Amino acid sequence: MDLIGFNKKFTLLCQEAHLAKNTILSGFELLLKANFYQDTEGNFYSAFFHLSIGFERLLKLAVVTHHMLSNDYRSPTIKELRRNYGHNVERLYQECRQLIPLYSRGEAEPPPLTEDDEAVVAFLSDYGDQSRYFNLNEVCEAKMERSPLYKWLDIAVSLYEEYTPAVRRERSALEMIYKMDSDGVSNGYTMNLDENGHPMTRFDCYHRQYVIEKAAPLAIWRLVETFQPIHHLLEAMAHSAGEYERSKNITQMVVPHYEDFFYFLLADRDSIKRRKRWLAIFSS
pLDDT at residue 2, as a whole number: 67
229-233 mean pLDDT: 97
Evaluate whether 259 touches 58 at the Cβ level (below 8 Å): no
pLDDT at residue 9, as a whole number: 93
Rounded-to-5 percentages of helix, strand, coil across the chain: 70, 5, 25
Distance, in Å, from the CA atom of 93 to the CA atom of 76, rounded to the nearest integer, reads 18
User: Please, which pLDDT band fits residue 283 given cuts at 50, 70 and 90?
Assistant: confident
- Chain CA centroid to CA 265, Å: 11
**pLDDT at residue 284 above 80?**
no
pLDDT digits (tens, 9 = 90+) for 214-225: 999 999 999 999
7-30 mean pLDDT: 96
Which residues, in sequence order, are CB contacts of 188 under 8 Å at separation 6+?
A: 201, 202
Q: Taking the domains of the chain in order of start, what are their residue ranges?
A: 8-145+219-282
Amino acid, res. 223: L
User: Please, which pLDDT band fits residue 200 given cuts at 50, 70 and 90?
Assistant: very high
Eight-state DSSP code of residue 198:
P
pLDDT digits (tens, 9 = 90+) for 119-140: 999 999 999 888 888 888 888 8
**Whole-prediction pTM value?**
0.94
CB atoms within 10 A of CB 86: 14
Q: What is the mean pLDDT of the chain?
A: 94
pLDDT digits (tens, 9 = 90+) for 26-49: 999 999 999 999 999 999 999 999
pLDDT at residue 117, as a whole number: 98
pLDDT digits (tens, 9 = 90+) for 140-187: 887 767 899 999 999 999 999 999 999 999 999 999 999 999 999 999
User: Please, which pLDDT band fits residue 17 given cuts at 50, 70 and 90?
Assistant: very high
Percent of the chain with pLDDT over 90: 84
pLDDT digits (tens, 9 = 90+) for 158-168: 999 999 999 99
Which residues, in sequence order, are CB contacts of 129 under 8 Å at separation 6+?
A: 86, 87, 88, 89
pLDDT digits (tens, 9 = 90+) for 75-107: 999 999 999 898 899 999 999 999 999 998 777
